[in-house]
Amino acid sequence: MKASRFFLILFFTSLFSLSAENNKFQIPDSSSIRKNVSENWFYEPLSVVRNNRTELRSNSIGQIFQVRMEEARDIFSIIVAPETKVAVDLYTQDGVVHKMVDEYPHDAPGSFVLLRDSTTGKPLHIRYFFAGDSEVFVQFSPSGNKTLADFVIDGLFAARGVPVGVKFDFFYTASFAQVLCLTEKSLPWHYVDIHPEQYHGNLVMAGVIKKNLERIKFEKNACYDAYDKPVYVSDGKERKVEKEDVQNNILTMDDLGFLKWIVDGLVKTLAGTSTYVDPLRRPTTQVSPLGTIGIRSTKESLFRSLDWTRNLAAAKMSVQAKRNYLYEESGVDVKIEPFSSEISDRGITQVAGYVKNTGYEVKYLKPLLYVLASSEPTYFYLAAIRRTVHPQDGSPEFHIFDSSAAIFPYFDKNGQFGCTIFEKGEELTLAQFLKKYPDSFVHLTRVLSSDRFNPL
């Protein structure tokens, strides 16, 4: 038994020694520094740690880290953070001086944070930060004699409570390469396996759309047909366009027409014509004609943007595959459920994932797009937005898909997540979009992007 335990320890030691040289995220490593400071910072009670002075230490290749303590309401944190150069403007009597200053953010790639209970001094969590987005980290927590791992993306758990076969204090001095080696099969590292060159199609399309936005003029119920003639969204009949708009090369369209214009910029390069209008209005949901929704649907289109985005994505897929796909056969709906729970003011709560014919709660859109950008880097998304309407006449509230947008997520060369959104001929940031549609749902359909993009 002792011999087998010895060989097991030897196996892990050898494996971790090799992996320490293979840090694929190329982040600074503080493991040697933590070995030297662990006794004074990680094990001593708060009263002793408070007296520790902030330290600057370098690892074996000269990278500088700061070791410090920060206190919050019920916890205190021991932070080992790498040196980061930040550009600042220094205002003096002689003018503004541009200079670089040293900072040590607790959530920079390469940072290590140990969180401890202020009353008992017991360790609560260890967090390793490794991504360009500070909201992404891996966390380890003691649970009796076990150690549990969490993978957190923007406050949501992509993995939670995964058992790890080493003691908690192993992570006091473990390198990030060792963490990767230990958890490569148990945590969803593929969500952060970023290759910036794969977003070329998304970035080209977003750039072309931006250059054309000044040509887009919003007009209700307006789009262009398969032969680029102005027609109505509602029935496909020809509509008149002001002569001045034609002379100035202005395109008039509503939000659905705008999405069609984007997708047609891909379709026309493949098929020679744009998408047909009538098939885009085809219903993609079935409701009881006797129910509240069915009765309401006779008065107005409750699934307007849902049907349009689904059929439009299926039409693009049909042209791409050279085979006619109805929406039901296409698989264009985004239905992934990468998160089990979230960290909120109420503690850890369950996350509502994909809801059929409804989509996702808008508050989960950012982490969802992060995962989609990493797992589907060659796609952009058509979003159908569902709002809740509270009628002033006292009749029951109802839900309606009455807005739409095109979403282009990506990662830049530094691994930083970004997202460009276009709605009704305007560009929005993700933050602006989330603020505009609080308490709404967003249904996504995927469309393969391309640098062969030539919109009308």
CA distance 274 to 406: 18
Question: Residue type for 375, please?
Answer: S
CA distance 223 to 279: 14
419 φ/ψ sector (left φ>0, alpha ψ -120 to 50, else beta): beta
Q: What is the pLDDT along the chain (456 residues), one digit of tens a residue?
A: 334 333 333 333 333 433 333 456 789 999 999 999 999 999 999 999 999 999 999 999 999 999 999 999 899 999 999 999 888 888 888 888 888 888 999 999 999 999 999 999 999 999 999 998 899 999 999 999 999 999 999 999 999 999 999 999 999 999 999 999 999 999 999 999 889 999 999 999 999 999 999 999 999 999 999 999 999 999 999 999 999 999 999 999 999 999 999 999 999 999 999 999 999 999 999 776 666 666 566 666 789 999 999 999 999 999 999 999 999 999 999 999 999 777 666 666 677 789 999 999 999 999 999 999 999 999 999 999 999 988 887 777 888 999 999 999 999 988 899 999 999 999 999 999 999 999 999 999 999 999 999 998
Alpha carbon 22 to chain centroid, angstroms: 27
Quick one: 238 exposed, middle or buried, by C-beta within 10 A (0-12, 13-18, 19+)? Answer: exposed
Among residues 252, 210, 213, 208, the alpha carbon closest in space to that of 425 is found at 213
Among residues 261, 144, 277, the alpha carbon closest in space to that of 209 is found at 261
CA distance 302 to 378: 31
Residue whose tokens read 């209008």: 277
What is this structure's pTM?
0.86
pLDDT score, position 266: 97
User: Which sign does the torsion angle of CA 10, 16, 17, 18 carry?
Assistant: positive
Question: Please, what is the Cα angle at 417 between 75 and 454, to 5 degrees?
Answer: 165
Beta bridge partners of 416: none
Quick one: 346 exposed, middle or buried, by C-beta within 10 A (0-12, 13-18, 19+)? Answer: exposed
Residue whose tokens read 């004074």: 40
Residue whose tokens read 């090369």: 249
In order of 45, 55, 113, 168, 178, the CA distances from 36 in angstroms are 18, 12, 16, 18, 18
CB neighbours (10 Å) of residue 61? 8
pLDDT score, position 456: 86
Torsion, CA 13, CA 14, CA 17, CA 23, rounded to 10: -110
